[in-house]
Amino acid sequence: MSEPVLYIVATPIGNLADLSDRARDVLASVDHVAAEDTRHSGRLLSHFNIKVPMISVHDHNERQRAEHVINLLRAGESVALVSDAGTPLISDPGYHLVRAVREAGFKVSPVPGCCAFVAALSASGLPSDRFQFIGFLPAKSGARQQALEALAGNTETLVFYESTHRIVDSLKAMTAAFGAERYAVVARELTKTFETLHGDSLDNLVTWIQADTNQQRGEFVVLVQGAEKVLDDESIDPEAERILRILARELPPKKAAGVAAEITGYKKNRLYPLLID
Ligand code: SAM
């Protein structure tokens, strides 16, 4: 009998032809498919004529279900984990399951494929050598703004997931946090009929998306160019100055200059005079 394995299987993010042959073979050969939403993934399996018993593993039952999956593996049965779309565990459930299964000593094997942010980044034209994947921002506006402000000085490309309900508010919040001129790309409905990749300054993106409600529909990845790192002692990057001024609202000038120096890379004694002036 072959060794039981928990396979982590990526599924399409829109275009069913993106399911790899290997993913198909694995899904057809395992004893159970663990899915975030068994009805949703059931439709994918029936499309490919795959009939395998399904187990539901979602955010709310993942820890208990891990024990069940481990028992199946102990009985010599293999399991494939899928999520609704793309790669499981990427802004999707599965982390607790994978951890528990590995700790129980069983093999976990990835079957890679689609992932929305990788697809978006690969076609965005934004620097991809260093990037930070943020995923979904907090739903509440205060927490979201705070999360964005904390990222304003990052020089790497920032990658966010966003839903149709919040895309406009999030782009507005990004404009406030990163500055109107910051370049960003909205990647919508990737691999689907209405796939759109549109890049512009954040304030132009807000105008563009508000002008056309069709552009507000579907699933989104938002990619924001990192802050420019200007370490020239003569001039101060406006983004660094903005961070300095936000901090100065809450902190005494010396402290604000010190924290801003840490975030932006400028010397504290280059920033401090700006507050005194
Ligand atoms: N595990 C998935 C992956 O590998 O990308 C992500 C799951 S997360 C719950 C769903 C989010 O991914 C959506 O709200 C959207 O931000 C993004 N997404 C998924 N499919 C997409 C698509 N076809 N085009 C653009 N974004 C997509």
| Residue entry with tokens 């504290």 | 268
pLDDT tens-digit readout, 210-266: 999 999 999 999 999 999 875 555 678 888 999 999 999 999 999 999 999 999 888
Ligand 1 atom with minimal separation from the 114 CA = 4
pLDDT tens-digit readout, 177-206: 999 999 999 999 999 999 999 999 999 999
Answer CATH for 117-224 from 3.60.40.10, 3.90.1150.10, 3.90.110.10, 3.30.950.10 = 3.30.950.10
Residue whose Cα lies nearest atom 11 of ligand 1: it is 161
| Residue entry with tokens 């563009």 | 208
H-assigned helices in 5-160 = 21-29, 38-47, 62-74, 95-103, 116-124, 141-151
Nearest to 160 by CA among 196, 185, 128, 182: 185
pTM equals: 0.84
Give the mutation target among 8, 9, 13 for probing the ligand 1 site: most ligand atoms within 8 A of CB: 13
pLDDT tens-digit readout, 48-94: 999 999 999 998 999 899 999 999 999 999 999 999 999 999 999 99
Query: Is residue 270 predicted with pLDDT exceeding 90?
Result: no
Ligand 1 atom with minimal separation from the 115 CA = 4
Distance 97 CA to ligand 1 centre (A): 21
Q: Domain 5-114 is of which CATH architecture? A: 3-Layer(aba) Sandwich (3.40)
Residue extents of the structural domains in the chain: 5-114, 117-224, 238-276
Distance 174 CA to ligand 1 centre (A): 19
Distance 217 CA to ligand 1 centre (A): 13
Angle at Cα 155 formed by Cα 218 and Cα 117, nearest 5°? 25
Q: Retrieve residue 141's tokens.
A: 């506006």
Q: How far apart are CA 251 and CA 109, in angstroms?
A: 50
Which residues are 109's β-sheet partners? 7
Same fold, 5-114 and 117-224: no
pLDDT tens-digit readout, 19-59: 999 999 999 999 999 999 999 999 999 999 999 999 999 98
Q: How far apart are CA 257 and CA 148, in angstroms?
A: 20
